[in-house]
Chains A and B, each alone.
Chain A
Amino acid sequence: MASMTPDLLAFSTKNKREVLSQEQLDLLKAGTYRILQDVGVKFPSKIALNVFSDHGADVDWDTQIVKLKPGLVDKALKTAPRSFILGGREERFDLLLDGNHYYLSTDGCGSRAIDLETRQERDSRKEDVARMARICDALPLIGFFWPLVSAQDHGMTAPLHECHAGLTNTLKHVRGGTTVFPELAKFLVEMATVVSGSDDERRKRPPICANICGIAPLAHDEHGIDSALIYAEAGIPMSFMAMPTMGSTAPATPWGALVSADAEVISAMVLIQLAYPGAPVFHSIEVSLMHPRTGGYVTSIDYPFGRMTVQIGHNWNVPVLGGGGTSSDAREIGWYSGSATGMGAASIPTGGGEICGYLGMLDGSMLLYPEQIILDHELCFEVYKSNQAIEFTEADLALDVIKSVGPGSHFLREKHTRQHIRDFPLSPITGEIYLGDKRRPSREVALQEFNKINETHHPEPLPKGKLVELDKILAAADKEAEKLQKGK
């Protein structure tokens, strides 16, 4: 018998706090217009260049740089929807991106994993993606499953296998699409159609979305853009994510990095809206820093980038992937990862981003420790509870009980105490009852919790017919990949 997937818990936006003034947002937007008009963005895709050219953009066919006038940008973005649905297998797992809720996502997409059995670090595999999808299915705060690691045991079709592992192991929305060879993108659309049941249903409640990354500064990837156009035609929502690194691929000031990244994201959104007006898109910027001494990649920066990127995206009137997040550069589970997770979780209610959180990864989103998802979820749950209204009635004030106990006594024998003492959830991780002098390390308890879910949680499978269909699509995609490989 299949396990019950718990209902989704979404953060409310009641405690959202802006960090940027409208004046600052306008200044940044003016910078983005200026970059798009005077500097331009590189689109190494003939299809994209044709779309831009047809709509009157200034296209340099040699350099493949496109310059966009503010009027064209505004006209195109007017058709981008502010609100749309990311579908789950059941409607109770649908995510309505309307600015009134925040849904937590897993982090992605890493390349290494700590093996659950040997505890050795190794390349990530499809089995890791499938297992994590099943674990996330049991965690109520996770609404958006982004494969945390790549299925490196599947070569060129790895993204399709990651999507398959997600769709077959969780009832929640799966970020199944990404940059692939355009010849393979259609297979992802087919998989989504099989899960949805029809083209119409796929468009109404798409079970997958895609993420397309730019190449900072101000360039796009050919396959990424061509895949995006295929997803857009099928009504599959997608986020465009810019990942500027201050000092190397972006100016070394936060604002310079943000304006450059915004121009990258907006240029792609304009393309999609010109080609398929009304296609659902969301905005995403992840800023990092080049370490001044080593040139290393630093993601844990003491600057409220998350909250700023949310406001920047919303200022274009589109939903946002970003905001508070728990991921860090920590290499292992310890003080560093704990402080980063805690502070990241604390910023979720104030920061927003329709999709945010990024749970489950370490080492700059590259390394999967299985138990990290349990630790991250635990802290996010604490923050989720803190974000909820305190409700009480006169009975909760217990004035009669206080009077009957009186000064200097205790409440141990009161019926009121017996009724309510178990109302407060103690953390399964840090609230563990222990014998002897020492508590077990939180990491050990989290691993135990992970193993328990792994052994016992088996969500409702897809109908057998759909599973067979998905296998056929994967087989066809693998065959196509072989052809592409030979043709390289």
Chain B
Amino acid sequence: MDRPPIEPIRTTRKLSFLDDQQLKALQEATFQILENTGVQFPSDKALDIFSEHGAIVDSETKIVKIPRDLVIKAMQNVPRYFTLGARNPDFDLKLQEGVSYFTNDGCGHNVVDFKTREKRASTKKDVGMAARINDYLSSMAFSWTMVSAQDCGLTSPLHEIDVTWRNNTKHYQSVTMMGEEICRYGLEMATVLRGSEEELRSRPPISLIVCTIAPLVQDKEAIEGALVFGEKGIPIVVMSMPTMGTTAPATYAGALAVGDAEVISATVLLQLANPGTPVFHSIFHAWADPRTAAYVGYSLDSRGRYAPVEMAHHWGMPSLGGAFGTEASEPDSWRSAAEIATDPLLVALAGAEIVTGIGLRDTYTTLYPESFILDDDIYHSARFSLLDMDVNPDTLAVDVIAAVKPGGHFLSQKHTRKNMRTSMVRGVNHHLNKSGKYRDPSEYARERVQWILDNHHPEPPDEDVQKEIDRILKAADKELKN
């Protein structure tokens, strides 16, 4: 069946949250942190690379201090734009100025079962379901691991790749792969899918997200996995998630500086190991509630939410921007919409190349399948508001107005019949029930999910390819689970 094309947010307009002087001050802070405080890399492999390139490595504490010149030299190799390949070449994403590609949120661990409405741990089947919904929606330019395949144990990241490819033809960004072994298996699967290493490198169908540990620590498994991907030129997102007051200073600038130093230290490592590795910069900061210390993703003052996009660009890197991720635990409450509704417009105006966040509730942890459709509606509203206008004699309709005359009406005009059904872009809020009243958007969204699951069946990988992937999975299960 036909599926809608990808519809990214395109805009020539831009918003700035930081000025040049502030960007320089933040960059200078990162230089100072990297040079004077250092970042811990609990990986001998990483420490060796730093050591070979002249960084100051303390082998006991595993803290690396990186001289400014080395940072500058390494960062010169980071590509500003590159391509994220997809299973279907029509869905390849060429990163470019003025285009923001969005995806779903990740990586949750709870699902509210679509049939029983019971909340339970997520499974491989749920990953497949989310991938299939993603594949159908035009707001989704690529796919993220929305929930984890908790029924697959240690090799769940590989099973998530497998079930995503069976259900989705867009680029896949894994949020859960960690460690050298898992990543090597993942790359093997991607090479089989693509057919050759050259193809894998030029149109990578997969990319990886690795998170740092604030403050100023890299995770051994994450960083070693990233190095494996870097060997093959596969894109990597380095994401820092500092929480003001606990794992970061309780000031915006301080938290951004810590986050930036973490991202840049990992990027430097990846460039020293494999110059030219494509890397995305990403900082998602949060607050510790001063009274309860609870994680707060949305403060009333969220000025810093979009600032990391500009910091990434200042380093000459593309950015993964933060959006959505409501703390509301319900799929369809006022809060679940209001908290996130400002995001897609502002993050696109900030210029983020890729953006995550659609569809989860309860601070990135819980999937209600219908939330996909509700958030998709908010996304498109932002997209439409940034579209270019079409002004011509037909749309101006001055002749029609002259024919109608003052005090008349337009109901009988051919121009009205021709245009009135396209004038209204029906959102989830505009669907009518039998008595002509608007339906509950959540009810409509559930129906839409059911329709997609019943009718949309993306073409799976070729049989031979799938057999080979199955073989790799089996081998991984055998080796890693034992």
Give residues in A with beta carbon < 8 Å to B: 15, 17-20, 24, 27-28, 31, 34-35, 38-42, 65, 215, 217-219, 246-256, 259-260, 263, 289-294, 296, 298, 300-304, 307-308, 329-331, 333-343, 345-347, 350, 375, 378-379, 381-383, 385-386, 388-390, 392-394, 396-399, 401-403, 405-412, 414, 416-417, 419-427, 429-431, 433, 438-439, 441-443
Q: Is the CB of A218 within 8 A of B407?
A: yes
Q: Is the CB of B289 within 8 A of A397?
A: no
B-chain residues with CB within 8 Å of residue A308 when the two chains form the complex: 389
- Tell whether A402 pairs with B257 under 8 Å between CB atoms, given A28-B396, A31-B396, A335-B337: yes
**In whole Å, how far is B436's beta carbon from the nearest beta carbon of chain A?**
4
**In whole Å, how far is B413's beta carbon from the nearest beta carbon of chain A?**
7
Given A388-B303, A433-B292, 16 more pairs with CB closer than 8 A: A31-B396, A251-B415, A254-B423, A302-B381, A302-B425, A304-B386, A335-B333, A347-B385, A382-B302, A392-B252, A403-B36, A407-B40, A407-B217, A410-B246, A424-B301, A426-B300
| Bound Cα distance A294, B437 (Å) | 9
Number of A-B contacts (CB under 8 A): 380
Q: Is the CB of A255 within 8 A of B397?
A: yes
| Bound Cα distance A304, B349 (Å) | 15
Question: Interface extent on B, as a size class?
Answer: 35 or more
Is B451 close to A, CB under 8 A?
no
Q: Is the CB of B389 within 8 A of A412?
A: no
Q: Is the CB of B63 within 8 A of A42?
A: no
A-chain residues with CB within 8 Å of residue B130 when the two chains form the complex: none
A-chain residues with CB within 8 Å of residue B290 when the two chains form the complex: 421-422
B-chain residues with CB within 8 Å of residue A219 when the two chains form the complex: 406-407
- Tell whether A411 pairs with B249 under 8 Å between CB atoms, given A31-B398, A402-B258, A425-B300: yes
Q: Is the CB of A247 within 8 A of B410?
A: yes
Question: Scoring B residues 237 to 258 as 1 if CB is less than 8 Å from chain A, else 0, what string do you get?
Answer: 0000000111111111110011
Q: Is the CB of A217 within 8 A of B257?
A: no
Q: Is the CB of B299 within 8 A of A347?
A: no
**In whole Å, how far is A204's beta carbon from the nearest beta carbon of chain B?**
37
| Stretch from B14-22, B73-81, B91-99 forming part of the interface with A | B14-22
Q: Is the CB of B342 within 8 A of A398?
A: no
Q: Which residue of A lies closest to B394 (CB)?
A: A253
Question: Looking at the complex, which one of A27, A340, A350 makes contact with B396 (CB distance below 8 Å)?
Answer: A27
Q: Is the CB of A292 within 8 A of B305?
A: no
| Bound Cα distance A414, B288 (Å) | 14
- Residue among A19, A20, A217, A424 having the largest count of chain B Cβ atoms under 10 Å: A424
A-chain residues with CB within 8 Å of residue B336 when the two chains form the complex: 335, 338
Q: Is the CB of A408 within 8 A of B250?
A: no
B-chain residues with CB within 8 Å of residue A429 when the two chains form the complex: 335
Question: Looking at the complex, which one of A34, A248, A341, A421 makes contact with B341 (CB distance below 8 Å)?
Answer: A341
Q: Is the CB of A35 within 8 A of B402?
A: yes
**In whole Å, how far is A429's beta carbon from the nearest beta carbon of chain B?**
8
| Bound Cα distance A17, B12 (Å) | 10
| Stretch from B48-56, B267-275, B426-434, B459-467 forming part of the interface with A | B426-434
B-chain residues with CB within 8 Å of residue A381 when the two chains form the complex: 300
Is B355 close to A, CB under 8 A?
no
Q: Is the CB of A38 within 8 A of B402?
A: yes
Is B316 close to A, CB under 8 A?
no
Is B378 close to A, CB under 8 A?
yes
Q: List 24 A-B contacts (CB under 8 A).
A: A15-B15, A27-B391, A40-B406, A217-B406, A246-B423, A247-B411, A253-B419, A301-B423, A301-B425, A334-B334, A338-B337, A340-B429, A342-B378, A343-B342, A343-B381, A347-B345, A375-B338, A378-B338, A382-B302, A382-B342, A399-B33, A401-B254, A406-B37, A426-B299
Q: Is the CB of B299 within 8 A of A425?
A: yes
**In whole Å, how far is A46's beta carbon from the nearest beta carbon of chain B?**
17
Q: Is the CB of B246 within 8 A of A412?
A: yes
Question: Looking at the complex, which one of A34, A342, A424 makes contact with B337 (CB distance below 8 Å)?
Answer: A342
**In whole Å, how far is B331's beta carbon from the nearest beta carbon of chain A?**
8
**In whole Å, how far is B395's beta carbon from the nearest beta carbon of chain A?**
4
Is B185 close to A, CB under 8 A?
no
Question: Looking at the complex, which one of B342, B410, B416, B438 makes contact with A386 (CB distance below 8 Å)?
Answer: B342
Q: Which residue of B lies closest to A339 (CB)?
A: B337
A-chain residues with CB within 8 Å of residue B249 when the two chains form the complex: 398, 401-402, 411, 414, 416-417, 420
A-chain residues with CB within 8 Å of residue B217 when the two chains form the complex: 407-408
**In whole Å, how far is B324's beta carbon from the nearest beta carbon of chain A?**
11
Q: Is the CB of A409 within 8 A of B215?
A: yes
Q: Is the CB of B247 within 8 A of A410?
A: yes
| Bound Cα distance A259, B401 (Å) | 9
Q: Is the CB of A402 within 8 A of B216?
A: yes
Question: Looking at the complex, which one of B251, B304, B429 makes contact with A336 (CB distance below 8 Å)?
Answer: B429
- Tell whether A397 pairs with B424 under 8 Å between CB atoms, given A27-B396, A302-B381, A430-B298: no
Q: Which residue of B lies closest to A404 (CB)?
A: B37
Q: Is the CB of B332 within 8 A of A398?
A: no
Q: Is the CB of B296 within 8 A of A343?
A: no
Q: Is the CB of B334 within 8 A of A441?
A: yes
- Tell whether A246 pairs with B420 under 8 Å between CB atoms, given A17-B349, A259-B396, A296-B436: yes
Q: Is the CB of A397 within 8 A of B25?
A: yes
- Tell whether A375 pairs with B246 under 8 Å between CB atoms, given A253-B423, A408-B217, A431-B299: no
| Bound Cα distance A308, B332 (Å) | 31
**In whole Å, how far is A252's beta carbon from the nearest beta carbon of chain B?**
4
| Bound Cα distance A34, B18 (Å) | 45
- Tell whether A289 pairs with B215 under 8 Å between CB atoms, given A218-B407, A402-B258: no
Q: Is the CB of B429 within 8 A of A329?
A: yes
| Bound Cα distance A235, B39 (Å) | 67
B-chain residues with CB within 8 Å of residue A302 when the two chains form the complex: 380-381, 384-385, 425, 427
**In whole Å, how far is A436's beta carbon from the nearest beta carbon of chain B?**
13
| Bound Cα distance A442, B33 (Å) | 41
Question: Scoring B residues 1 to 40 as 1 if CB is less than 8 Å from chain A, else 0, what string do you get?
Answer: 0000000000001010111001001100100110011111
B-chain residues with CB within 8 Å of residue A402 when the two chains form the complex: 33, 37, 215-216, 249, 254, 257-258
- Tell whether A256 pairs with B396 under 8 Å between CB atoms, given A339-B337, A346-B341: yes
Q: Is the CB of A251 within 8 A of B251?
A: no
| Bound Cα distance A392, B409 (Å) | 57
| Bound Cα distance A201, B441 (Å) | 51
**In whole Å, how far is B264's beta carbon from the nearest beta carbon of chain A?**
14
Q: Is the CB of A399 within 8 A of B292?
A: no
| Bound Cα distance A303, B332 (Å) | 23
- Tell whether A386 pairs with B302 under 8 Å between CB atoms, given A293-B432, A423-B251: yes
| Bound Cα distance A441, B329 (Å) | 10
Question: Looking at the complex, which one of A304, A341, A396 makes contact with B252 (CB distance below 8 Å)?
Answer: A396
A-chain residues with CB within 8 Å of residue B247 when the two chains form the complex: 410-411
A-chain residues with CB within 8 Å of residue B215 when the two chains form the complex: 402, 405-411
* Chain B contacts with A in 309-362, Cβ cutoff 8 A: 327-329, 332-343, 345-346, 349
Q: Is the CB of A41 within 8 A of B335?
A: no
Q: Is the CB of B442 within 8 A of A335?
A: yes
Q: Which residue of A lies closest to B29 (CB)?
A: A397
- Tell whether A397 pairs with B342 under 8 Å between CB atoms, given A375-B334, A386-B303, A424-B287: no
Q: Which residue of B lies closest to A258 (CB)?
A: B396
| Bound Cα distance A345, B382 (Å) | 12
Question: Scoring B residues 255 to 295 as 1 if CB is less than 8 Å from chain A, else 0, what string do you get?
Answer: 00110000000000000000000000000000111111000
- Tell whether A335 pairs with B213 under 8 Å between CB atoms, given A17-B13, A27-B396, A385-B303: no
**In whole Å, how far is A449's beta carbon from the nearest beta carbon of chain B?**
13
Q: Is the CB of A335 within 8 A of B374?
A: yes
| Bound Cα distance A343, B346 (Å) | 10
B-chain residues with CB within 8 Å of residue A289 when the two chains form the complex: 423-424
**In whole Å, how far is B186's beta carbon from the nearest beta carbon of chain A?**
28
Is B226 close to A, CB under 8 A?
no
* Chain B contacts with A in 432-477, Cβ cutoff 8 A: 432, 436, 438, 441-442
B-chain residues with CB within 8 Å of residue A350 when the two chains form the complex: 13, 15, 345, 349
Q: Is the CB of A20 within 8 A of B300?
A: no
Q: Is the CB of A256 within 8 A of B406?
A: no
- Tell whether A256 pairs with B427 under 8 Å between CB atoms, given A215-B407, A390-B303: no
**In whole Å, how far is A261's beta carbon from the nearest beta carbon of chain B?**
10
